């Protein structure tokens, strides 16, 4: 795994994680305007418009500089094709952060979420010296739970009917991992 000097890009076996640019907005909207992504995420709108992507990408740079959150585009290392996004929040007070991700449906099942998340864990623990990283997923979305288990994260609990999604409530599973380098 390779981090560049200011950690604006991370290179893994197959992926290049880089900052989003406004020019990605149409691609982001193309991938995110999908009910199958919407139904498993907490904050994505549906339908998802290009303007949603523009205002989302607009906030990344300030958040990155202020070390509030680090949002990376997940791209093919060779071709540059956009596969999805992965973010790590940074709570300096608690010395922890939350991992969150989505992958465009046409790219599911290739291990991209796991490979990108492994890189973000290294970034959190080795570069930013977090004590802990956590992640949460809806009980109706076992694929995300599988990603967390492949990362070595441990199930810490279930929050019952914690999230209202449209006309129903979702149980939320909470996973965490401590910094193994401390």
Ligand X SMILES: CC(C)(COP(=O)(O)OP(=O)(O)OC[C@H]1O[C@@H](n2cnc3c(N)ncnc32)[C@H](O)[C@@H]1OP(=O)(O)O)[C@@H](O)C(=O)NCCC(=O)NCCS
The least distance separating ligand X from the CB of residue 114, rounded to whole angstroms, comes to: 3
Q: Which residues between 145 and 164 bind ligand X (CB under 6 A)?
A: 146-147
Q: Which residues contact 105 (CB under 8 A, 6 or more apart)?
A: 31, 34, 36, 37
- CA dist 166 and 146 (Å) reads 25
Binding range to ligand X, per CB under 6 A, among 8-16, 53-61, 87-95, 144-152: 144-152
Nearer to ligand X, 111 or 176 (CB): 111
The least distance separating ligand X from the CB of residue 98, rounded to whole angstroms, comes to: 10
C-alpha angle with apex 23: 18 to 28, nearest 5 degrees?
Answer: 75
Contact 115, 107 (CB under 8 A): no
Binding range to ligand X, per CB under 6 A, among 5-13, 52-60, 126-134, 143-151: 143-151
| 40 belongs to the binding site for ligand X (CB under 6 A) | yes
């Amino acid at each position: 795994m390779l981090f560049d000097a200011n950690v604006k890009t991370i290179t893994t076996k197959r992926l290049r994680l880089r900052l989003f640019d406004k020019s990605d907005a149409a691609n982001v909207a193309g991938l995110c305007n999908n009910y199958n992504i919407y139904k498993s995420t907490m904050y994505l709108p549906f339908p998802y418009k290009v303007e949603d992507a523009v205002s989302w990408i607009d906030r990344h740079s300030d958040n990155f500089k202020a070390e509030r959150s680090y949002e990376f585009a997940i791209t093919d290392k060779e071709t540059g094709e956009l596969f999805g996004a992965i973010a790590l929040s940074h709570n300096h007070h608690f010395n922890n952060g939350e991992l969150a991700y989505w992958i465009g449906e046409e790219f599911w099942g290739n291990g991209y979420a796991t490979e990108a998340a492994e890189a973000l864990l290294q970034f959190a623990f080795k570069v930013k010296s977090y004590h802990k990283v956590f992640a949460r997923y809806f009980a109706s979305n076992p694929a995300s739970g599988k990603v967390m288990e492949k990362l070595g994260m441990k199930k810490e609990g279930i929050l019952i009917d914690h999230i209202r999604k449209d006309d129903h409530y979702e149980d939320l599973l909470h996973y965490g991992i401590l910094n193994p380098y401390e």
